[in-house]
Amino acid sequence: MTDIINIVPMSKEHIVQIAKIESESFADPWAGQIFYEVLQVPDCAAFVALKSESVAGYLILRRTPPEIEILNIAVKESERKKNIATNLFSALFEYANLEKAEKLTLEVRRSNGPALALYKKLGFEIDGYRKNYYENPKEDAILMSLKLKTGKI
């Protein structure tokens, strides 16, 4: 039997778990306070993937009509390769449709092969690079986007 994944809006009750996933996932993690601040920013939205009421992953975005920028996405290490990120993107696509977004954008470390593979599978294309964008370690960012048709992929 597979575990049921529920995608819900992020709330302050999720932040402790999100901050833990963040610190385990990134060399330069966001400080926990940033997640509280995201909840206060009108142009931001965030989703969490819940598995048995525990946060398995999250996605944070910023609306800049007609685009949506994916600011952050991570999945708990023990839950990777279980379609959690794909489920988060499905929720994002529904949200983008409701928002009538025309394009999704994101940036990713050049060395993040699993994320690049997922984004390409979802239809994202490489738009360019930002040299030495990331710190710890210093690394280029790959800029990617996905054009949506009238808010639909």
Residue 24: CA count within 13 A, CB half-sphere: 15
Tell me the Ramachandran region of residue 124: left when phi exceeds 0, alpha when psi lies from -120 to 50, beta otherwise.
Answer: beta
Identity at 40, one-letter amino acid code: Q
**Residue of 6, 5, 36, 7 lying closest to 19 (CA atoms):** 36
Q: Which is the catalytic residue, given 36, 107, 129, 133?
A: 107
How far is residue 44's CA from residue 38's CA, in Å, rounded to a whole number? Answer: 6
Total residue count of the chain as it appears in this document: 153
Q: Which is the catalytic residue, given 58, 67, 95, 119?
A: 119
- Known catalytic membership, residue 79: no
- Known catalytic membership, residue 119: yes
How far is residue 61's CA from residue 106's CA, in Å, rounded to a whole number? Answer: 9
- Active site members: 107, 119
